[in-house]
Every structure is written in structure tokens, then in C-alpha cells.
A and B are shown apart, each in its own frame.
Chain A
């Protein structure tokens, strides 16, 4: 089992994501200008400010050579996890429903939040039970999830902010969603920053642990 963690110009969480993956399996960085996903069993699109987030968050990264391969990989059923900016990129790529808008407060938020596992039936949450509460930090300015009415069935909501924990005005407290097939997931909180009790919580590791359980 091997993770590939994407590095765009402007990524900033790829090393934490790499280290989080390596707690559970092999992992390597993938350069945005390459196209090769040989030997990769799951792709992580990390947080940051890919391509400067010019125009709209994630809008330009979505057209990078590597992302073309990641889109093909996802369409073939490969597991792809987008975190924060990675979530925004996957929405822009059309791999996930909806879009991320500026926080309702218009402020950058950086805090620990509780998220509730709504759907443990995905490759990203199979180490969890429905209703599990995970303590994971958020840090973003553009994290207000929105999907047009009728486009987000309940089973696509993988994680919801616990009552009172919605940091950005996301519709229905949505914190993380998956695609119809369940092999692509995006979330605004940063599980890669919550993998060691030393930093307050290791709950984020459950997502990487879940992915590492995917048969290689």
C-alpha cells in the first residue's frame, strides 16, 4: 500500500500529509508537473495555496498535468483524498459535488473543531463508526461548503461539524463529502495535523489508517 501526496507550487501541508501517511503505509511526494501515478494506491491532494489560488481557490491547479492523471485515476476507482485546498481543487475538477466559498465571517479561522462521522462506509472512514466524534483543526478563509439544492444526497456527507462547531457557515454543517462511487473524498479540516497526541489529538490518523486498509 502506497500513498502519493501531491505537491503544487504553493502547497504548504504536503509534508505533514506525507508524514501522516507514513504512519500507516509507504508514501511519496508527487510533483505537479509529472503525470506518473505508477505504483500509487491512494492519492492525497494536500492543503495550501496551489498556484497562488489565483482566480478562484483550486481553479488553476485543477488543470495541472498531474491532476489530469489524478482525475483519470479517480474515474478508474482509485482513492483520492482532498484536504482543505485539495478539497477545493477536487470540487473545481468536478470530482466532488459543490464548491467552497469565503467563510461567512470573511475571516481566516484557525481552531480545533469536532466533526461527526456520518458515513463510515467509505475507504476514508472505514476505521470509524457512525457518530464518532473526531477532534481535528481547521485553518482556512474559503471553507464555506455549498452545493446547489438537490445535488447532495445524505450519504455523500461523510463528516459534519458537531453542533456549534461550524467555523465557516457551511451548508448543513457539512465538513466533508464524497463522490457517488465513494472513492473520492474532500474535507476542510486537516486530519494530517492531528496524528500525534503530542499536538492534542490523533483523531485525524483514523482517515489515513482507513485508507491504508484498502487492499493494495
Chain B
């Protein structure tokens, strides 16, 4: 699951990173946002959206995206 701050809500962490990159010489960077990645193995993938709605994300302030990697052990571990 990729969990991101909802667009339109101030993201000071993204702003801080955006300001830091030019200091290292990386120019032309915009719209930086910092979210989080949750990895898990699950037997029934149909439950994942409910997991996000009820616990893993707060839908008031965060958007989530579910990325399904089929088969065992092929995740980005």
C-alpha cells in the first residue's frame, strides 16, 4: 500500500525535502510529497481496501493505493 497525504493539505515534510534538494544541486524539482509504504502478505487480497479504510490509512487526510504483487517472495523486500 502506498499512502500519501491528500492533495490540498499542507505537507510540510514534502516542502522541507523540496527545499533541501536544490541545496545539493538538484534543480527543477517540484511537488515533493512524503508518504509511506506498507508491505504485507495476505491470503485474501479482497480485505486490503478495508484494512486501509479502517486502520492503515486515515481517509480524511490520506489517499491510498493498493499494489498487488502475486506469488510468494516477489515483493520488493
Which residues 1-40 in B have Cβ within 8 Å of A in the complex?
A: 9-10, 12-13, 16
Asked if A98 is an interface residue, CB under 8 A from chain B, the answer is: yes
Contact with B along A72-102 (1 / 0, CB 8 A): 0000000000000000000010000011011
Interface with A: B42-50, B54-62, B65-73, which one? B54-62
**Docked complex Cα distance between A146 and B5 (Å):** 12
Most B CB contacts (10 A, CB to CB) among A60, A99, A147 go to: A99
Residues of A within 8 A of B (CB): 55-56, 59-60, 63, 92, 98-99, 101-106, 144, 146-148, 169
Whether the pair A101, B55 counts as a contact (CB closer than 8 A) is no
Checking B16, B56, B58 against A99 with a beta-carbon cut-off of 8 angstroms, the contacting residue is B58
A148 engages B60 (CB within 8 Å): yes
Residues of A within 8 A of B56 (CB): 55
Show 10 A/B contacts (Cβ-Cβ < 8 Å), sorted by A.
Answer: A55-B55, A59-B55, A60-B55, A92-B58, A101-B61, A106-B13, A144-B10, A146-B9, A146-B60, A169-B12
Chain A residue numbers with a CB within 8 Å of B60 are 98-99, 146-148
Q: Within 8 Å CB of A147, what residues of B?
A: 60
Q: Determine which of B12, B55, B58 lies in contact with A102 in the assembled complex, contact meaning CB atoms within 8 Å.
A: B12
Chain A residues whose CB sits within 8 angstroms of the CB of B16 once the complex forms: 106
